[in-house]
Structures are given as structure tokens and as C-alpha cells.
């Protein structure tokens, strides 16, 4: 009997992770700036990545691994850009796109950055005793 279902946990975390940027978006409606838009957008992107991770085994492998990891990295870039906008020192969008492309290229070519789906065969629903 499985006491802990990992995909369900990721889907629950996804719902919880979308609450904070959603509430922030609503509360700061009058004071919305580019920094707030990026911060909330980054939160929603992270929630989408949790959803994709939770759908492993149900959705295509390229979505649940490659796209999910790219969304996690994009989340970091969006939140970082949000903070840099508050400092009035934003990154160029082309640098951010280049960083995401380099991350995806290295992730595809190197096994040490992120594991492949074949490394997780049989571990989708581990039994916790």
C-alpha cells in the first residue's frame, strides 16, 4: 500500500504555489509595475513546472522533463529580473533568452545537469514505509 503518492504531492504543491502569486497579483492591482508582473509571472511559471512534474508517466516525456526543467530555469530568470528592475539594473531580454537556450543545450548534452527519464524507471510511485 502506498502511503505517499509523489505525483499527487507535486500537483498539490502546484496549486499551493499558484496561490501566492495569484493573491499578490490581486492585492497589488493598483500598484502593479513590471517588477510585480515578472514576480507573479515567475510564480505561475514555477507552478506550471510543478504540474508537469506531477504528470510524469501521464504526459509525454519531453513535457515532464525537458519543458519542466526549462520552466524552472525560466522562473529563476523572471524572479531575478524582477529584483533587478527594482534596482533599476535590468538584464537585457536577449541575455535572458540566451541563458535559457544555453541551459537547455547543456541539459540535453550533459547527463550531470539533469537526469534522463530512463534513470527514473520504476521510481514513479515509491512506497514509503
Residue 58 inside a domain? The answer is yes
Domain count, the chain: 1
pLDDT at 70: 92
* CA 23 – CA 67 distance, rounded (Å): 26
Residue 120 inside a domain? The answer is no
Residue 122 inside a domain? The answer is no
Print the domain residue range for 49: 6-114
**What is the value of pTM for the model shown?**
0.78
Residue 76 inside a domain? The answer is yes
Residue 30 inside a domain? The answer is yes
For residue range 51-95, list pLDDT tens digits in order: 999 999 899 988 998 899 999 999 999 999 999 999 999 999 999
Residue 29 inside a domain? The answer is yes
Amino acid at each position: 500500500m502506498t502511503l505517499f503518492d509523489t505525483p499527487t504531492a507535486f500537483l498539490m504543491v502546484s496549486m499551493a504555489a499558484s496561490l501566492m502569486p495569484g493573491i499578490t497579483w490581486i492585492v497589488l492591482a493598483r500598484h502593479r509595475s513590471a517588477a510585480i508582473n515578472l514576480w507573479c509571472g515567475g510564480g505561475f511559471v514555477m507552478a506550471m513546472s510543478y504540474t508537469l512534474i506531477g504528470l510524469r508517466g501521464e504526459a509525454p516525456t519531453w513535457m515532464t522533463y525537458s519543458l519542466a526543467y526549462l520552466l524552472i530555469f525560466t522562473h529563476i530568470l523572471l524572479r531575478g529580473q524582477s529584483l533587478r528592475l527594482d534596482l533599476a539594473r535590468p538584464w537585457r531580454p536577449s541575455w535572458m533568452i540566451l541563458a535559457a537556450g544555453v541551459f537547455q543545450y547543456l541539459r540535453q548534452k550533459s547527463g550531470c545537469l539533469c537526469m534522463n527519464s530512463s534513470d527514473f524507471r520504476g521510481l514513479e510511485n515509491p512506497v514509503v514505509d
